[in-house]
């Protein structure tokens, strides 16, 4: 470096140098070039030291990776729920939160009472406190409000269910809002969970995160293999990013953050609003109104798309198992077996029977209103791990029985607890 810069500098001052040589004056270029070269060498040496330190912190070697690995090991061995712990359930007043309440109640011998109980806190069988928070407690899309909630509750564990949700047509109309709001919620919750050193976080994804063009059945390795269906791109992308963010917290900070992917959930306390509900509660409400008015049921699409439906109380029991037993970074699909998949037309006929509706069903026949044709997911990983840890197969509630219970609850609570 010294030689190169000396030559450049001397070339620029060649006329003056010749003049100086004629007058026998000493050359003046060497000190300047030497100083500049010295500075360059110092900067290069500093850069090499910093690069070496960064490399030592990367995966595969060094104190940074070792520290993260040690933190992850400690987190995995200390994730159990014990007496005195606080499990905070975001979005706890909704459908899945009620399913978790019912599962906790079943362990205490009063599942129905627990599911219908509006109490904000539940003490479980081991003496841990479960806090079911809702949008009334905090706007989780607001960072300051989320920080205040965590500071007030001091959770040791988090079950993250909160989300801005809606059915097919609401997603199609509000993709931007679905992406922005859900991204903010997820970022705020995980950041606060890390800040408060929560021992475990289980976050809820959705089967809409899987690629639109894929092979079936879908499994947990296929989440990022291609773009999701365009109809709910905003919501599904935000949920995909929740999986990525959970993995990054685990990799960088050793956090025991994991995710689950439930299939289409239904049950008591669902959102039955016709403008933004999912398929089962929306159909139940339509059949109920048609039965009251004596009119036909008008349904969009062809009825051919296929779906797997999971009863909320079954999902509640699975969430308890995941919180207590599942510690992998990769998501786990929570679903009924593939052979339980039904078409939307079959679903409509089942609701018709459950509500004793004797009128006509009319389909629009427009395939553009169908949405994604199928999202068949494999619960093989779940069922294998569950049997390994529990020694028995997981027992699902019969679909027709669960659907009948949901319809009966809706009719009984139409003017009170049902969200219509």
Q: Measured between alpha carbons, how far is 302 from 420 in angstroms, rounded to an integer?
A: 25
Strand pairing of 342-343 and 306-307? Answer: antiparallel
Between CA 230 and CA 350 the distance in angstroms is: 29
Q: How far is CA 330 from CA 55, 240, 388, in A?
A: 26, 12, 18
Burial label for 2, CB within 10 Å (0-12, 13-18, 19+), is middle
Assess whether the previous peptide bond of 217 is cis (omega < 30° from 0).
yes
What secondary structure does DSSP assign to 52-69, as a single string?
Answer: HHHHHHSTTSHHHHHHHH
Q: Which residues are catalytic?
A: 235
pLDDT of residue 246: 98
Among candidate residues 355, 359, 361, the one with its CA nearest the CA of residue 411: 355
Q: What does residue 293 show for φ and ψ, rounded to 5 degrees?
A: -95, -10
What is the largest distance, in Å, between two alpha-carbon atoms of the chain?
117
Q: Which helix (H) or strand (E) holds 361?
A: strand 361-363
Cis peptide before 25 (omega within 30 of 0): no
| Alpha-carbon distances of 242 from 44, 147, 150, 255, 293, rounded to whole Å | 40, 18, 19, 14, 44
For the entire predicted model, the pTM comes to 0.79
Give the Cβ contact number of residue 160 at 10 Å: 23
Q: What is the pLDDT of residues 55-90, one digit of tens each?
A: 334 444 445 555 555 555 555 556 889 999 999 999
User: pLDDT tens across 29-60, in order?
Assistant: 444 444 444 443 444 444 433 333 433 344 44
Spell out the per-residue pLDDT of the chain, length 420, in tens: 444 444 444 444 444 444 444 444 444 444 444 444 444 344 444 443 333 343 334 444 445 555 555 555 555 556 889 999 999 999 999 999 999 999 999 998 876 655 566 778 999 999 999 999 999 999 999 999 999 999 999 999 999 999 988 766 677 788 899 899 999 999 999 999 999 999 999 999 998 899 988 899 999 999 999 998 888 889 899 999 999 999 999 999 999 999 999 999 999 999 898 887 889 999 999 999 999 999 999 998 999 999 999 999 999 999 999 999 999 999 999 999 999 999 999 999 999 999 999 999 999 998 888 877 888 999 999 999 999 999 999 999 999 999 999 999 999 999 888 888
User: How far apart are alpha carbons 382 and 218 in whole angstroms?
Assistant: 13
Q: Classify residue 225 by its DSSP letter.
A: S
Would you mind telling me the total number of residues written for the chain in this entry?
A: 420
d(CA 181, CA 15): 69
In this prediction, residue 34 carries a pLDDT of 45
The predicted-structure confidence for 271-294, as pLDDT tens digits, reads as follows 898 887 889 999 999 999 999 999
Long-range contacts for 196-200 (Cβ within 8 Å, ≥24 apart)? Answer: 196/150, 196/154, 196/155, 198/155, 198/156, 198/157, 198/158, 198/255, 199/75, 199/78, 199/79, 199/156, 199/157, 199/256, 200/75, 200/79, 200/157, 200/158, 200/256, 200/257, 200/258, 200/323, 200/327
The pLDDT value recorded for residue 355 is: 96
Q: Which residue has the tokens 């791109």?
A: 233
- The tokens for 42 are 């110092």
What is the predicted pLDDT for the residue at 208?
85
Instruction: Check residue 65 and give its pLDDT.
Output: 52
Output the DSSP codes for 312-358. Answer: HHHHHHHHHHHHHH---SS-EEE---GGG-EEHHHHHHHHHHHTT--
């Amino acid at each position: 470096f010294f030689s190169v810069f000396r030559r450049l500098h001397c070339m620029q001052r060649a006329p003056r140098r010749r003049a100086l040589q004629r007058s026998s004056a000493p050359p003046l270029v060497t000190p300047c070039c030497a100083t500049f070269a010295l500075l360059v060498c110092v900067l290069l040496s500093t850069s090499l030291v910093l690069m070496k330190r960064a490399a030592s912190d990367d995966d595969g070697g060094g104190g940074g990776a070792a520290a993260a690995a040690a933190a992850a090991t400690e987190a995995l061995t200390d994730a159990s729920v014990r007496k005195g712990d606080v499990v905070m359930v975001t979005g706890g007043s909704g459908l899945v939160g009620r399913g978790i309440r019912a599962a906790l109640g079943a362990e205490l011998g009063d599942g129905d009472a627990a599911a219908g109980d509006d109490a904000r806190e539940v003490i479980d069988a081991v003496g841990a406190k479960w806090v079911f928070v809702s949008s009334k407690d905090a706007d989780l899309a607001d960072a300051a409000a989320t920080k205040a909630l965590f500071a007030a509750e001091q959770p040791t564990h988090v079950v993250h269910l909160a989300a801005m949700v809606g059915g097919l047509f609401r997603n199609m109309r509000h993709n931007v809002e679905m992406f922005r709001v859900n991204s903010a919620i997820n970022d705020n919750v995980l950041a606060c969970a890390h800040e408060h050193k929560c021992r475990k976080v289980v976050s809820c994804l959705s089967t809409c995160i899987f690629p639109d063009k894929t092979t079936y059945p879908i499994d947990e390795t296929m989440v990022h293999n291609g773009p999701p269906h365009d109809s709910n791109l905003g919501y599904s992308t935000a949920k995909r990013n929740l999986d990525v963010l959970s993995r990054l917290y685990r990799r960088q900070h050793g956090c025991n953050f994991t995710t689950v992917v439930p299939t289409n959930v239904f049950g008591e306390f669902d959102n039955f609003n016709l403008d933004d509900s999912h398929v089962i509660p929306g159909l139940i409400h339509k059949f109920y109104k048609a039965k009251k008015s004596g009119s036909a049921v008008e349904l969009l699409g062809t009825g051919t798309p296929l779906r797997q439906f999971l009863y909320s109380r079954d999902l509640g029991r699975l969430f308890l198992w995941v919180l207590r037993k599942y510690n992998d970074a990769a998501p786990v699909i929570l679903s009924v077996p593939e052979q339980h998949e039904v078409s939307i037309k079959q679903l409509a006929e089942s609701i018709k029977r459950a509500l004793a509706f004797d009128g006509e069903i009319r389909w629009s026949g427009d395939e553009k209103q169908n949405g994604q044709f199928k999202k068949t997911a494999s619960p093989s990983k779940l069922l294998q791990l569950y049997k390994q840890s529990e020694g028995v197969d997981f027992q699902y509630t019969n679909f027709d029985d669960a659907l009948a219970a949901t319809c009966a609850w809706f009719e009984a609570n139409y003017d009170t607890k049902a969200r219509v």
